Amino acid sequence: MTADVLKIVSLNTEQDRHFERIIPFLKEHKPDVVLLQEVLNTDISFFEENLNMKSLFSPSNYLVRKDRLPQIGLVTLSALPMTNYSAYYRGREDELPVIIEGDAEKMARSIVVTHVTKNNTPFCLVNVYFTWSSDGKPTEMQYHDQKALLKLLSPLPEFILCGDFNAPRGTPIFDGFAAQYKDNIPPHITTTIDKNLHRAGDLNIVVDGVFTTPAYHVTSIELFDGLSDHWGVVAEVVLQNA
């Protein structure tokens, strides 16, 4: 009996700057679940309508823009039946800071945990936009938040952890996650930053990830540039022994 395959896409959208690239890409690849980071709450209905999916949004802060004050945060979308919730490892949803773009140290930090069932197979996915550091080197805040995040994840028996980890592979924070869960980004991949679309140019670092606990197996994974300031990750996952 062939195991049911769940197709997922994880992508940092960089707010509303790249819709003309992102929406056609998502429609072409037809994922079961989409995990997005850096999404404005004012754009949630746009994603839902264009993808014919339902979503859960978890905000990290209010963002000062020219003529409005939107919230920005995580969105997980799916057309499959789902249950989900958000939980914070830094800050609180009812006390979100108001920040200007680039002032990432003040942001609240959360995860979106989503349970979906494809045919009869259950999947648990976690969407994260982890704590930022200015130069890619670990900070005390990152160490503190990693400990708090791992504590949030510990009650979940099995899951797929996706998102922007804001820490380069090969440094203690990213490798701390890889010590707990399987890093599924292939070793030959040397960057997930789009050199043509990221404001800092060619950084040559892997900061986006798909991690899994032992019950889940990534059967294929591809990365795509030309979408946003980060590369998009497309993965197919099965529940082993399902």
Q: Over the stretch 212-222, which tens digit does the pLDDT of each residue have?
A: 999 999 999 99
Query: Which band of pLDDT confidence, cut at 50, 70 and 90, is reported for residue 94?
Result: very high
pLDDT tens across 48-87, in order?
999 999 999 999 999 998 888 999 999 999 999 999 999 9
Give the chain's domain count.
Answer: 1
Range of the domain at 103: 5-239
Cα separation, 170 vs 9, in Å, equals 23
Reported as a single tens digit per residue, the pLDDT across 182-211 is 999 999 999 999 999 998 889 999 999 999
The CA-based dihedral angle spanning residues 152, 158, 159, 160, taken in that order and rounded to the nearest 10 degrees: 130
DSSP letter for each residue of 35-56: EEEEEEGGGHHHHHHHHT-EEE
CA distance 18 to 123: 29
d(CA 167, CA 54): 30
The mean predicted confidence, pLDDT, of the chain is 96
Please report, for the domain that includes residue 54, its CATH number. Answer: 3.60.10.10
* pLDDT for the residue 1: 47
How high is the pLDDT of residue 67?
82
pTM: 0.97
242 pLDDT more than 80: no
The size of the chain, in residues, is: 242
Q: Give the CA radius of gyration of the chain.
A: 17
